[in-house]
Amino acid sequence: MNMTINAEDMLNLLQEYWTEAHKLIEDFGREDGRAKMHVGWCIGMKEMAEALIGVPVNLRKDGKVTIGFD
């Protein structure tokens, strides 16, 4: 089976996780284990996305994922 994940798919998934991380932080605080775990996943996914597309990916404090120089 040959699966290809493109940049748009990865960025959309990253946005979903980043939104969930923000919701967990809002509901339980920054020190919550689940919130920390989601943020960690997002940082890893951000780095993979940057390697894939060759431009910076930004995890913004307002909950948005953007690409390019912010």
Of 6-10, 31-35, 39-43, least confident by mean pLDDT is 6-10
In a domain, 24, yes or no: yes
pLDDT score, position 23: 96
Mean pLDDT, residues 36-41? 95
The CA dihedral of 21, 23, 27, 32, to the nearest 10 degrees, is 0
In a domain, 48, yes or no: yes
Show the domain range for 11: 7-67
pLDDT above 80 for 70? no
Cα gap 54→62, rounded to integer Å: 23
In a domain, 2, yes or no: no
In a domain, 1, yes or no: no
In a domain, 31, yes or no: yes
What does each C-alpha distance from 44 to 1, 2, 13, 27, 41 come to in angstroms?
A: 25, 23, 12, 23, 5
pLDDT score, position 52: 86
Number of structural domains found in the chain: 1
In a domain, 37, yes or no: yes
CB 65 within 8 Å of CB 15: yes
In a domain, 54, yes or no: yes
Can you give the pTM of this predicted structure? 0.84
Cα gap 7→37, rounded to integer Å: 23
